[in-house]
A and B are shown apart, each in its own frame.
Chain A
Amino acid sequence: VFLRESWSCAQSIVVRQGSALQGPRVKLIEQAADLYAQTKDYSFEAKAAEEHAKLLKVQQDLEAATGQPIFVDSSVSDTIRTCITLGNHRAAQRIRTDFKVSDKRFYWLKIFALAMTKNWDALEKF
């Protein structure tokens, strides 16, 4: 069990460093998730790796859509924030439901993002 875990860890480390090629990276993380899933003790890790892969895919799509390389390698919260800052509320909502972000966290993010862009009107309405 321990061996398997450390192997997948090592793999994801390799994965993190080889950032240029996004395709293989997602695959490797998915592999890691599978490895974690093979034992019961690491269900949390398995799920996290799964979400990580999902997040990377979403981020790649966003980057393709906006043409700005600002999404990959930021966290879930940061991604939501960036979306709101850019005024892309629909994407933000989608990530929110995809990753089951709690209301509390989402509202904090929204307030921060709106305040940062000085979007006082939206903040008022909200």
Chain B
Amino acid sequence: MAQIPSLDHAPINLSALREQAQKELIQILSSVRGKKVLVLDPKLSGPLALVAQPSLLKENGVENLYHLSADPVASECKNVIYLMRPRMGLMKLISSQIQQDNIQKLQKNYTVVFLPRRTIICEKVLEEEGILGSVTILEYPLYLIPFDEDVLSLELDMAFKETKVDGDLSALWYLGRAITLLQAQFGVIPNIKGKGKAAVQVADILNRMQREQMPDANAAVVTPEIDTMILIDRQVDLVTPMCWQLTYEGLIDEFLTISNGAVELDPTIMGIAQSGVKKAKVPLNSSDKLYRELRDLNFGVVGQVLRNKATSMKQDYNDVTGGGPQHQSVSELKDFVKKLNALPELTRHTNIAQHLSTFTTKSKFLTRLSIEQTLVEGLSYDISFEFVEEMIHRQEPITSVLRLLVLLSLTSGGLQKKHFDYLRREVLHTYGFEHMFTLSNLEKAGLLKKQEAKSSWQNIKRGFRLVVEDQDDANPTDVSYVYSGYAPLSIRLVQHALKGGWKAVDEVFKLLPGQSFDRKQGSQADQSVLSRDGSAREGSVTADSAPAVDGRRAVVLVVFIGGVTYAEISALRFLGAQEGMKYDFVIATTKLINGTSLLKSMVEES
């Protein structure tokens, strides 16, 4: 099965985006003549696999693929292409490889390809190592990578930490560039709304880029395919990623980790009891029809759906065998065989679901879940505090502990002073003093703090109706089903943004960090309008944009700056599938995350 997701049903033409990326890759590869080896930044091989199949690389003269490591490339090949993110550590590795070759007097051609673009600092490193003269430098401007029909990601795993802790805004610049490229392809997006500091920053970057390239009238000619863009800074809603995702896809990610649109599974899970078999990679995207049906459901329902499928198949089988051949028309048989084709998918997901339920039925999971839910409701600070304390004492994995600790801090407006110091000390004692940096990172990012004022969480919760009681997970009427009762704040923001702007919730809106804005940029409008819009930040809430005239639903691009969880994606899909919804959603983000991976980026590597 192809790992590359099919993009045929995407609301906007994402295939074009991928084709463009492939074309550029081929261009780079063919710029180096003859056979070559490709050395990859280990973090890039996954995303690259979503853009180009191995065969495409082979067709263009790539003999072998390597991951960049401290060991030299063991190949006779004369041409070496390094495909890298612009990071200094990687530059050092490249340098040492080339220097080793030089010592052995090997004559090779080196090309360093930066993704998405070269940076001065990296060239400086190469220069200092004395190899800048012997390498050719190219850029591969790959920004947004299509993960599915409605999901695009930059795959910058450190984006949140870099912007919020280190003050390094390059991720925002990349995002701005990515959106600019999107606009070049799909037309200038008329409505832009945003919330949070990073959202404002990205919008400003966009504005600037727009002005710089205005002479290029090309973009203005294209009729806009995307009606509205909503920028959301992850910092505005940090509570959501800290909760356990309870959708099928979300749980797979929590327990088995989805990376680059696929999950690696132990063969025993899949019911193949062979030893020595490598982990099987199972692609998870909309090309798998059954998965498409299951992924966004609350996990509690998945088992039931699978059972129904299996029973109906058995029924069909009985019909076929029981009825005797004389009663069968060929077309009936054909239908049955067609259904049988879905059998491998059914087996696969039954296996996965069964494996997941070994986790979800454990009392540990259930207790934790109920703690999470009381926290979100803003109740019982003390019980949760004791729970976290015990987790530390049991030396549970640090990310798991921090996740709950952060949730506690976020929902109670910080930890009480005595607890703040006490818990920090317990963490250091238990996990080592090097986590002082982790703790200070968390504080800088606003994930952990000392209680100063009364918590505003209660008001936020009420204002946005975040906790919904009596939700039937099987027949949900509200997005809160993805967390079994908690509606993600980020999604509520999107809902409000589409429902006549953000004025309605002004009061509670101010409780959330960062500015909000609502601006227009015209495709027909000329430059003067644009710059006026740029200065007229805040306010000027316009009437809800009219849905597309030709009966098609308007496309809304929701951009999560700093990462998005699978459950949030599910929630948006759910919204899009509601009756009377005028919009199709496309999601773009810096990285697909969950609470654990977000916190991992905070734990400094030594």
Contact = CB atoms under 8 A, between A and B. Distances in A.
B489 to A, nearest CB: 30
Interface in B95-142: none
**Which of A9, A55, A76 has the most chain B CB atoms inside 10 A of its CB?**
A76
A120 interface: no
Interface in A83-126: 99, 101-102, 104-105, 108-109, 112
A77 interface: yes
A104 B389 contact: yes
Interface string B407-433: 000000000000001001110111111
A108 B433 contact: no
A78 to B, nearest CB: 8
25 contacts: A9-B437, A13-B437, A13-B606, A44-B421, A44-B425, A48-B428, A48-B436, A49-B436, A51-B428, A52-B433, A55-B433, A73-B432, A75-B428, A75-B431, A75-B433, A77-B395, A77-B430, A99-B429, A101-B429, A104-B389, A104-B393, A105-B429, A108-B394, A109-B393, A112-B395
B393 A76 contact: no
Contacts of A16: 434, 606
B136 to A, nearest CB: 34
A108 B394 CA distance: 7
A76 B431 CA distance: 8
A75 B606 contact: no
Given A48-B433, A105-B392, 15 more contacts: A17-B606, A45-B436, A45-B440, A48-B425, A49-B433, A49-B436, A73-B432, A75-B431, A75-B432, A75-B433, A76-B428, A76-B429, A104-B389, A108-B390, A112-B395
A77 B436 CA distance: 16
Contacts of A22: none
A39 interface: no
Given A9-B437, A48-B436, A104-B389, A75 B429 contact: yes
B332 to A, nearest CB: 62
Contact of A51 (B431, B433, B437, B440): B433
A6 to B, nearest CB: 10
A76 B426 CA distance: 9
A74 interface: yes
Nearest to B386: A104
Contacts of A108: 390, 393-394
Interface of A: 9, 13, 16-17, 44-45, 48-49, 51-52, 55, 73-78, 99, 101-102, 104-105, 108-109, 112
A87 B425 CA distance: 26
Interface residues on B, range: 20 to 34
B428 A105 contact: no
A59 to B, nearest CB: 11
Contacts of B395: 77, 112
A73 B606 CA distance: 12
A107 B390 CA distance: 11
Nearest to A56: B433
**Which of B425, B429, B430, B431 has the most chain A CB atoms inside 10 A of its CB?**
B429
B424 A44 contact: yes
A77 B429 contact: yes
Contacts of B436: 45, 48-49
B460 to A, nearest CB: 29
- 7 shortest A-B CB distances, which residue pairs? A52-B433, A76-B429, A75-B432, A108-B393, A77-B430, A105-B393, A16-B606
A102 B426 CA distance: 9
B433 A105 contact: no
**Which of B393, B424, B606 has the most chain A CB atoms inside 10 A of its CB?**
B393
**Which of A48, A52, A74 has the most chain B CB atoms inside 10 A of its CB?**
A48
B381 to A, nearest CB: 19
Contacts of B425: 44, 48
A75 B393 CA distance: 13
A48 B431 CA distance: 13
Contact of B426 (A52, A78, A105): A105
Contacts of B434: 16
A14 B283 CA distance: 42
A76 B434 CA distance: 12
Contacts of A74: 432
Given A16-B606, A104-B389, A76 B430 contact: yes
Contacts of B394: 108, 112
Given A17-B606, A48-B436, A108-B394, A75 B421 contact: no
Nearest to B426: A105
A75 to B, nearest CB: 4
B505 to A, nearest CB: 36
Contacts of A75: 428-433
A97 to B, nearest CB: 14
**Which of B428, B433, B434 has the most chain A CB atoms inside 10 A of its CB?**
B433
**Which of B390, B392, B394, B428 has the most chain A CB atoms inside 10 A of its CB?**
B428
Contacts of B421: 44
A49 B434 CA distance: 10
A45 B432 CA distance: 13
**Which of A9, A16, A105 has the most chain B CB atoms inside 10 A of its CB?**
A105
A115 B429 CA distance: 21
A76 to B, nearest CB: 4
Nearest to B428: A48
Interface in B254-295: none
Nearest to B432: A75
A30 B395 CA distance: 27
Contacts of B424: 44
Contacts of B433: 48-49, 51-52, 55, 75
Nearest to B393: A108
A45 B443 CA distance: 13
Contacts of A49: 433, 436
A54 to B, nearest CB: 10
Interface string B431-470: 1111011001000000000000000000000000000000
Contacts of B440: 9, 45
